[in-house]
Structure 1
Amino acid sequence: MPRRIARSRRAVAGLVLLAALFAVAFGGPLLSRWGWDDTDFAAFRQGPSARHWLGTTQSGRDVLALTLRGTRRSLLIGLSVAVLSTGLAGLVGTVAGFAGGRLDRVLMWATDLLLVLPSFLLVAVLAPQLGGGGLVPLLAALLWMVSARAVRGTTVSLREREYVLAARFLGASPARVIVRHVLPQLASLLVVDASVNVSVAVIAESGLSYLGFGVRPPDVSLGTLVAAGQGAAATCPWPFAAAAAMLVLIVLAVNLLGDGLRDVLDPAAGQGRGDR
């Protein structure tokens, strides 16, 4: 598997870029003299300089430190949401597809019900009640349904395979059959789904924070930085541009990695690309 991933230029480019973003976001503050919550009272709304590499905000805070803080928050939220939503989709989809019958109908009915609920309205109502710590489970609860239906459909076909039927006839418990024989066949689908969900979660968190439903002051994320900097983007572009550029790089890295993993794990989907 590592060799196949190494032959995919998309996967390698996405992985390298994502690793670089993590290194900068988590290692950069160790090399900077400014913390994200520090204020330089001698430098209000100044451009990039040797003292402040990306300039300062109107309140005298270092743009580089704020951007790195926002990047860490967005990356951690994106990864946490992806793990939770993909795990929930895998659990519901495999249980529904393998069990069938009434349990399948109940789980899929609940999934369909959640799909038609207005997500933005739910976020607007629940986010203020849950606070900043509730953003991850809230986003995860809104991103798993489509993936669960895909997992359920694949599981329905897998449960009729000869090796699955043989394990069941030999007395293996449903949980053991799912863990030993079904989930390994779903690994590629779940891995690609998780990579896509990282990008979706980062964009969703940034959008919600931009609108005031996500990360709240005094903490920052890329969405809050974009919102704070857009008003003066014409005359003081560095706070807005730094956060927007970092957001674009995160989404680009995750999408490249997801496309590369899809090509590696599902070669039929990657035919004609010529990038492996």
Structure 2
Amino acid sequence: MTRARLAVGTGGLVSLLVLAYAGPLCARWSWAGVDLSAFRQPPSAGHWLGTTPTGRDVYALTLRGLRFSLVSGLVVAVCATGLAAVTGTVAGYLGGRTDRSLMFLADVLLVLPPLLAVATVSPALRGVLVLAAFLWMVTARVVRAMTASLREREFVVAARHLGVRPPAIVVRHIVPHLASLLAVDATLNVSTAVIGETSLSYLGLGVRPPDVSLGTVIADGASSATTFPWLFAPPVAALAAVVVAANLLGEGLRDVLGPAA
């Protein structure tokens, strides 16, 4: 079962990435193209998933949105996990005032409602990377606790007595022991980041026109979900596929790497 989840999750994410980049090459219309003879038309041979009220191809728009949301989710997840790794290892290894200051910052950010905080800050920064600033705190605390334990292990103590500098000790002797935790965290953060980016774009605080993401495509079709379902169903299905695939991959990695971590 574990390997099945891992295989399905990996295959799903890879397939979605391939579809997002290669799928538009098979379409007759680009995401920015307008068909003046087909306004809000249902799926057909010319427009596989129908058209919007402005004559844009839903298939091309959905894949363009999928590509933006997927790439944004991957970048945000890696940045958030990297931030957690740096903050946690520095706090755990140095201890003292540095530890207290960094963990106080983490506690302050944990109190803030993430989506509300990101929605407030995002318009000023004009970027989805601000999501990473609100996804690292819990993992940083776990990393900090593991680092504080590892710094007292014999091989770390021996490295310190041999004159190895702290940055080298952290990179060579501590981070490898955290690799499984960080890999699982980054994978699970993908779905969280994609949902966060989609929510921001749905509210008009994410990607800026004329570009699109899954959130903007969903927002445009939400009012017509029952009357013209082809405007709403494809981006929602794409979002669900991303979240399910990322969660399956994360759970599979956690089961495989967890016992050995």
- The bucket for the TM-score relative to the shorter chain is over 0.9
Q: How does 1:83-232 map to 2 (within 5 A)?
A: 83-131=78-126, 134-136=127-129, 138-232=130-224
What is aligned with 1:247? 239
Rounded Cα–Cα distance in structure 1 between residues aligned with 2:66 and 2:112: 30
Rounded Cα–Cα distance in structure 1 between residues aligned with 2:9 and 2:116: 33
What is aligned with 1:67? 62
Kindly provide the CA deviation profile for residues 87-135 of structure 1, in whole angstroms up to 9, marking residues without a partner as x: 010000001001111111111111112222343343233222222xx22
2:227 to 229, 235, 252: 235
Q: How does 1:42-57 map to 2 (within 5 A)?
A: 42-57=37-52
Which residue type is aligned with residue 146 of structure 1?
V
CA deviation after TM superposition for structure 1 residue 224, in Å = 1.0
Please say if residues 197 and 206 of structure 2, whose CA atoms lie closer than 8 Å, have aligned partners that are also in contact. yes
CA deviation after TM superposition for structure 1 residue 7, in Å = 7.4
Of 60-69 and 104-113, deviating more is 104-113
Instruction: Find the residue that maps to 2:232 and give its secondary structure.
Output: helix
TM-score (norm 1): 0.91
TM-score (norm 2): 0.96
Gaps spanning 5+ residues in structure 2: where? none
Rounded Cα–Cα distance in structure 2 between residues aligned with 1:194 and 1:83: 6
Kindly provide the CA deviation profile for residues 164-216 of structure 1, in whole angstroms up to 9, marking residues without a partner as x: 11111111111111111100000000000000111100001111111121123
CA deviation after TM superposition for structure 1 residue 26, in Å = 0.4
Which residue type is aligned with residue 203 of structure 1?
I
Rounded Cα–Cα distance in structure 2 between residues aligned with 1:84 and 1:20: 23
CA deviation after TM superposition for structure 1 residue 261, in Å = 0.5
- Kindly report the root-mean-square deviation, in angstroms, between the aligned alpha carbons of the 2 structures: 1.5
Please say if residues 103 and 141 of structure 2, whose CA atoms lie closer than 8 Å, have aligned partners that are also in contact. yes
Please say if residues 123 and 213 of structure 1, whose CA atoms lie closer than 8 Å, have aligned partners that are also in contact. no
Please say if residues 188 and 246 of structure 2, whose CA atoms lie closer than 8 Å, have aligned partners that are also in contact. yes
Kindly provide the CA deviation profile for residues 51-100 of structure 1, in whole angstroms up to 9, marking residues without a partner as x: 00111111110000000000000001100101111001000000100111
What is aligned with 1:38? 33
Matched, 1:267 2:259: yes
Rounded Cα–Cα distance in structure 2 between residues aligned with 1:118 and 1:263: 30
Gaps spanning 5+ residues in structure 1: where? 1-5, 270-276
Instruction: Find the residue that maps to 1:212 and give its secondary structure.
Output: coil
Rounded Cα–Cα distance in structure 1 between residues aligned with 2:107 and 2:209: 35
Which residue type is aligned with residue 216 of structure 1?
R
Rounded Cα–Cα distance in structure 2 between residues aligned with 1:261 and 1:254: 11
Kindly provide the CA deviation profile for residues 123-178 of structure 1, in whole angstroms up to 9, marking residues without a partner as x: 233222222xx222x10111111111111011111111111111111111111111
Kindly provide the CA deviation profile for residues 31-51 of structure 1, in whole angstroms up to 9, marking residues without a partner as x: 212110100011111111110
Of 76-85 and 113-122, deviating more is 113-122
Aligned residues: 261
Matched, 1:13 2:11: no
CA deviation after TM superposition for structure 1 residue 259, in Å = 0.5
CA deviation after TM superposition for structure 1 residue 268, in Å = 7.3
CA deviation after TM superposition for structure 1 residue 267, in Å = 3.1
Rounded Cα–Cα distance in structure 2 between residues aligned with 1:101 and 1:165: 18
Percent sequence identity is: 60
Which residue type is aligned with residue 71 of structure 1?
L
